[in-house]
Amino acid sequence: MKLEIHLGGKARQVELTQKGGHLTCAIDGQAIEADAVEIAPGIFSILLKGRSFEVRVDEHADGLRIHTGHREFPVKVIDQRAWRGARGGAAEAEGRQQIVAPMPGKVVRLLVKQGDTVEAGKGLLVVEAMKMQNEIRSAKSGTVERLLVSEGDAVNSGQLLAVVG
């Protein structure tokens, strides 16, 4: 995906390529490699040069807001149609969704219980990995049909955590 953005008052050319959990990003032709996992819609766990970051990307009328730690970076995407098209729009997942652990860690908090009704993007549980807490969110609106973990459970990457139908 190629985008032209305004970041910090400067126009930048950004090219993103993803293969599995490996993300390559080139900004103005300079390649940056990182291990990135989308742990929930719009929330990414990124390992860059040995440092771990949790990054949240929110859409706003004037562009995007990128949050990491206590910092926020406003980003204006020049061609919004290219951005939305490359991402497939903001479509909600359909059908029964299996929520799996994006990485190994420990369940530190359950935010819902079996039978709860949830909206797309609502937090279901929190997994701590590499001393960072990652909220695992629902990809669709529906009912929590199964909750397969409890607080304090250790989980493996790819392990089934919940089912939302």
Condensed to tens digits (0 to 9), the pLDDT of residues 123-140 reads: 899 999 878 888 888 878
Condensed to tens digits (0 to 9), the pLDDT of residues 52-111 reads: 888 888 877 667 888 888 888 888 877 655 444 444 444 455 678 888 888 889 999 999
Euclidean distance between CA atoms 105 and 49, whole angstroms: 21
**Which helix or strand (DSSP H or E) is residue 86 part of?**
helix 80-87
Eight-state DSSP code of residue 93: P
| Higher per-residue confidence, 41 vs 72 | 72
- In percent, the amount of the chain with pLDDT more than 90 equals 21
Region label for 87, one of left (φ > 0), alpha (ψ between -120 and 50) or beta (otherwise): alpha
Do residues 138 and 121 touch, judged by C-beta distance below 8 A? Answer: yes
Question: What pTM was estimated for this model as a whole?
Answer: 0.49
End-to-end distance of the chain based on CA atoms, in angstroms?
Answer: 31
| Range with the poorest average pLDDT among 82-86, 141-145, 147-151 | 82-86
Amino acid at residue number 107: V
**What per-residue confidence (pLDDT) applies to 94?**
61
**What per-residue confidence (pLDDT) applies to 79?**
60
Q: With a cut of 80, say whether residue 38 has pLDDT above it.
A: no
Euclidean distance between CA atoms 146 and 100, whole angstroms: 12
30 Cβ partners below 8 Å, 6+ apart?
none
Domains of the chain, first to last: 2-87 (3.30.700.30), 97-164 (2.40.50.100)
**What per-residue confidence (pLDDT) applies to 49?**
82
**What per-residue confidence (pLDDT) applies to 52?**
84
**What per-residue confidence (pLDDT) applies to 23?**
66
**What per-residue confidence (pLDDT) applies to 86?**
46
CA atoms within 13 A on the CB side of 30: 3
